[in-house]
Amino acid sequence: MKPAVRVLITVLAVIGAAVAAVPAIAADDGSGAVQGRTVDRVRIVVLPADTTFSQLEELGYGSVGYLGVSQHTVDPAQSFLDMSQGSRIRPSAYAEPLDLAGYRGGDPAPEWVAGIVERADKAGLAGRPGTLAASLRRAGWDVAFTPGENPDDPAGLITLDSYEPGKPGAGCSEQAAGCLIVQVAGIDTLAAEPPASDELVIAFARPVEGRRIAPLLVAGPEHPPATTLRSASTRMDGLVISSDIPATALAGAGVEPVAAKPDAAKPEGQPVTAVVGKQPAAVRGLADRLDEIEDRRITVLGTAFAIWLVAGLAVCVMRPGKRRHVAALAATGIALLPGILLLTAAIRPLPGVEFLLVTVAVPLVAWLLAKSCRGRFSLAFAIAAAMTIGLLAADMIAGSKLTPFSLLGPNPAYGARFYGIGNELEAVVGCLVPLAAGAALASHPATRRGGAAAVATFLAVGVVAAVVFAASRWGADVGAAMIIPAGSAVAAAVAIHNRKVLLVAVVAMIIGLAALVASDLAFDGNSHFERTVLDAGSPGRLFEILGRRLGMTAESFATPINLALLISLVGAGGYAWYRRVAIRRWFAGRRALFAGMIGAVGASVVGTIVNDSGALFLIFGAVYVGAALALAWAGADNSGTPERGEEGQ
């Protein structure tokens, strides 16, 4: 049997085994939630901006948690409009800001409504402004708005009906099938008017600029006291998003959202459900941690990197003979860092404590690994990378309990990603998977020069990692289904120096991606990929999504810092090409390690092209390729030949 055929059979067998594991948890969404039922009245209450979580908790009824009010930046009026349409995108995706001149105190001019709909269509929004009110009115419900002291309050945008524009009433008639009331009121109103037995109340603090997360209360027949909340949009206990508000109202009313046209994409919002058995106190500190992540990335990680750099340079100057050890420890530490950050996310320490833990733990664990491996730097790096990948994979399978709170996680406060690996960790895993396999293979005499066994290892590891990090029930990142296989396929081709193997690997990986898509559809993974791509509604809508993502990729390079980094990377790449003969000697006798590095390059290039944060993938790729170069240089003597310990003997 030819090697290429053996490789294909091996990869297909691993694909089958890995994909077969997905249904095992498909029946359990991990929500622990109570499903909703029909009510006759829905009351949406917009509370003062300074309303606190504790005030809602003290009311003594309903499910209490937090509401993510926007994506990235907060435009309060846009947040209210998002609640009318059941879908949202980042405000910068719109061609122009929301102009309220034609709103006219809740009695909008028809031409203004038409402009709002056109604005949403141009931005590629899934859904249409005014879907909530239109859907309820078509089902015989009345829609009312009580604005409080300001008749022009933009909270009235929640009641917008873009199908039959008109001013909402001040109340509801007894003849109506049901009643939706959007009310601007204080916390005292909620205390004096608890929900009736046939009423659903949704109350939240008014969105304001600079605050992405606001306290939220949902109370009704299926939201018992002393519970928190969640939705399929976030898969997080205690946090839902603004587009879940209309989905919750429609689910409570037992009404399906009206479609703008037969092939229109479905609104993305999901109904909010109660999490029985979890007290609101368990999620009270959630908003504080999410709000701190952005700042801690700078204060904790930035300061730690500066200290490591100064310490490393000091050792190199004072003890030149230890330069290779410093390079190997740096590479191993970079592989360890995402895993260490996942552990700190588990305990959520104070900023100073997290800084100390990260600054000390990363070099300490890297040094312990180097000592335990007796100078076999490739093996130490492989173990470190495997630890990080294993921790991340375990968290994906467990339901992304820790990743959202990691300093390298998706940061749900931005409102775009709440579970799975996110762009930062997708870039990390895409590079670490081939590098970990290559380093492990390079540490063993039988595989360090590549060959069929190395090819099978690269592909098998890549397939398993792609399933874990791409499956909607776990990593939920379709980009991982392209990036990880691409890196593994490139590494396999380099390991055996055979382009036919690359073609076979690509075919096998395409089959794996198709299997993942089939699994997502068959077992209702309800992933972001399924809701935005598989449920796009039409090929035209799908091309709009792809075009928007490519545009966002280009925009990611437009910031001054990213543009400067891109120029620097191009310069570094040019210098590396000029020195390619000398660099290639660092990998002498360790083709597997070289294959892993080229696989990381391939993963980074693919990620840069297909992801909406292309600059980020290029930056992370440069870091991990640099780590691989440091590892190779550390394991070679002055002539470029691997040192005895690195030969695995």
State yes or no: pLDDT of 19 exceeds 60.
no
Q: Is 633 exposed, middle or buried (0-12, 13-18, 19+ CB in 10 A)?
A: buried
- The tens digit of pLDDT for each residue in 519-543 reads 665 555 555 555 555 554 555 555 5
State yes or no: pLDDT of 44 exceeds 90.
yes
Q: How far is CA 579 from the centre of its chain?
A: 37
How many Cα atoms within 13 Å fall on the side-chain side of residue 621?
A: 31
pLDDT for res 522: 59
Look at the block and give the residue holding tokens 């063993």: 444
- The tens digit of pLDDT for each residue in 415-462 reads 778 888 888 899 999 999 999 999 999 999 999 998 889 999 998 999
pLDDT for res 199: 94
In whole angstroms, what is the distance from residue 232 CA to residue 65 CA?
A: 15
Whether residues 222 and 306 fall in one domain: no
Q: Is 513 exposed, middle or buried (0-12, 13-18, 19+ CB in 10 A)?
A: middle
Whether residues 449 and 592 fall in one domain: yes
Integer CA distances (angstroms), 460 to 14, 427, 455, 508, 594, in order: 6, 19, 9, 11, 18
Comparing 39-48, 259-268, 380-389, 534-543, which segment has the lowest mean pLDDT? 534-543
In whole angstroms, what is the distance from residue 293 CA to residue 306 CA?
A: 19
Whether residues 62 and 147 fall in one domain: yes
Of the candidates 80, 46, 39, the residue with the CA atom closest to the CA atom of residue 195: 39
Comparing 209-223, 417-431, 465-479, which segment has the lowest mean pLDDT? 465-479
Q: What is the DSSP letter of 280?
A: G
pLDDT for res 37: 45
How do the residues of the chain divide into helix, strand and coil, expressed in percent and rounded to 5? 60, 10, 35
Q: Is 474 helix (H, G, I), strand (E, B) or coil?
A: coil
State yes or no: pLDDT of 401 exceeds 80.
yes
**Using H for helix, E for strand and C for coil, what is the string for 81-121?**
HHHHHCCCCCHHHCCCCCCCCCCCCCCCCHHHHHHHHHHHH
In whole angstroms, what is the distance from residue 639 CA to residue 315 CA?
A: 23
Report yes or no: 401 and 238 within 8 Å, Cβ to Cβ.
no
Q: Is 592 exposed, middle or buried (0-12, 13-18, 19+ CB in 10 A)?
A: buried
Question: Facing residues of 178 across strands?
Answer: 141
Whether residues 532 and 607 fall in one domain: yes
Q: Quick one: average pLDDT of 284-301? A: 88
Q: Quick one: average pLDDT of 545-553? A: 58
The amino acid sitting at 480 is: A
Q: Quick one: average pLDDT of 389-400? A: 92
Instruction: Please give the residue that has the higher pLDDT: either 482 or 506.
Output: 482
pLDDT above 70 covers what percent of the chain? 81
- Boundary of a domain, candidates 275, 301, 323: 275
In whole angstroms, what is the distance from residue 430 CA to residue 617 CA?
A: 9
Q: Quick one: average pLDDT of 173-180? A: 86
How many Cα atoms within 13 Å fall on the side-chain side of residue 420?
A: 31
pLDDT for res 431: 95
Tell me, yes or no, whether 282 lies in a domain: no
In whole angstroms, what is the distance from residue 528 CA to residue 534 CA?
A: 9
State yes or no: pLDDT of 33 exceeds 50.
no
In whole angstroms, what is the distance from residue 422 CA to residue 474 CA?
A: 12
In whole angstroms, what is the distance from residue 125 CA to residue 532 CA?
A: 10
The H-or-E segment that residue 231 falls in is none
Comparing 2-6, 172-176, 250-254, which segment has the lowest mean pLDDT? 2-6
Listed ranges 17-26, 193-202, 602-611; the one with the highest mean pLDDT: 193-202
pLDDT for res 501: 64
Comparing 12-21, 390-399, 611-620, which segment has the lowest mean pLDDT? 12-21
Bridge-based pairing of strands 178-184 and 41-47 is parallel
Whether residues 318 and 268 fall in one domain: no
* pLDDT band of 32, cuts 50, 70, 90: very low
In whole angstroms, what is the distance from residue 539 CA to residue 558 CA?
A: 29
Whether residues 182 and 268 fall in one domain: yes
Whether residues 20 and 96 fall in one domain: no
Write out the residue range of the structural domain in which residue 249 sits.
Answer: 35-275
Tell me, yes or no, whether 280 lies in a domain: no
Q: Quick one: average pLDDT of 552-577? A: 75
Question: Facing residues of 203 across strands?
Answer: 45, 217
State yes or no: pLDDT of 202 exceeds 50.
yes
How many distinct structural domains can be found in the chain?
A: 2
Comparing 300-314, 316-330, 363-377, 599-613, which segment has the lowest mean pLDDT? 599-613
In whole angstroms, what is the distance from residue 34 CA to residue 229 CA?
A: 10
The H-or-E segment that residue 597 falls in is helix 591-610
Whether residues 592 and 556 fall in one domain: yes
In whole angstroms, what is the distance from residue 326 CA to residue 330 CA?
A: 6
- Return the CATH number at 213: 3.40.720
Of the candidates 53, 49, 51, 92, the residue with the CA atom closest to the CA atom of residue 70: 92
Instruction: Please give the residue that has the higher pLDDT: either 335 or 37.
Output: 335
Of the candidates 523, 454, 519, 526, the residue with the CA atom closest to the CA atom of residue 492: 454
Whether residues 225 and 362 fall in one domain: no
Of the candidates 532, 542, 548, 537, the residue with the CA atom closest to the CA atom of residue 233: 532
Report yes or no: 622 and 572 within 8 Å, Cβ to Cβ.
yes
pLDDT for res 230: 93
Whether residues 82 and 203 fall in one domain: yes
Q: Quick one: average pLDDT of 122-145? A: 88
**Using H for helix, E for strand and C for coil, what is the string for 438-467?**
HHHHHCCCCCCCCCHHHHHHHHHHHHHHHH
Mean pLDDT of the chain: 83
pLDDT for res 89: 84
- Boundary of a domain, candidates 228, 243, 275: 275
- Boundary of a domain, candidates 275, 306, 328: 275
Tell me, yes or no, whether 436 lies in a domain: yes
438-463: string of b/e by CB count within 10 Å (b at 16+)? Answer: bbbbbbbeebbebbbebbbbbbbbbb
State yes or no: pLDDT of 21 exceeds 50.
no
Tell me, yes or no, whether 169 lies in a domain: yes
- The tens digit of pLDDT for each residue in 53-74 reads 999 999 999 999 999 998 877 8
**Using H for helix, E for strand and C for coil, what is the string for 402-428?**
CHHHCCCCCCHHHCCCCCCCHHHHHHH
Tell me, yes or no, whether 385 lies in a domain: yes
Instruction: Compute the C-alpha angle 454/459/460, nearest 5°.
Output: 95
Tell me, yes or no, whether 362 lies in a domain: yes
Comparing 75-89, 156-170, 401-415, 586-600, which segment has the lowest mean pLDDT? 156-170
Whether residues 450 and 535 fall in one domain: yes
The amino acid sitting at 388 is: T
Tell me, yes or no, whether 267 lies in a domain: yes
- The tens digit of pLDDT for each residue in 492-515 reads 989 987 777 667 656 755 666 666
State yes or no: pLDDT of 517 exceeds 70.
no
Comparing 128-132, 260-264, 341-345, 524-528, which segment has the lowest mean pLDDT? 524-528
Q: Token pair of 120, please? A: 């949403």
Q: Is 240 helix (H, G, I), strand (E, B) or coil?
A: strand
State yes or no: pLDDT of 218 exceeds 90.
yes
- The tens digit of pLDDT for each residue in 609-642 reads 877 777 788 889 999 999 999 999 998 754 445 5
pLDDT for res 109: 84
Instruction: Please give the residue that has the higher pLDDT: either 519 or 240.
Output: 240
State yes or no: pLDDT of 22 exceeds 50.
no
State yes or no: pLDDT of 327 exceeds 90.
yes
Integer CA distances (angstroms), 137 to 45, 141, 168, in order: 19, 5, 11
Phi and psi dihedrals of 10, rounded to 5?
Answer: -60, -45
pLDDT above 90 covers what percent of the chain? 45
Whether residues 148 and 91 fall in one domain: yes
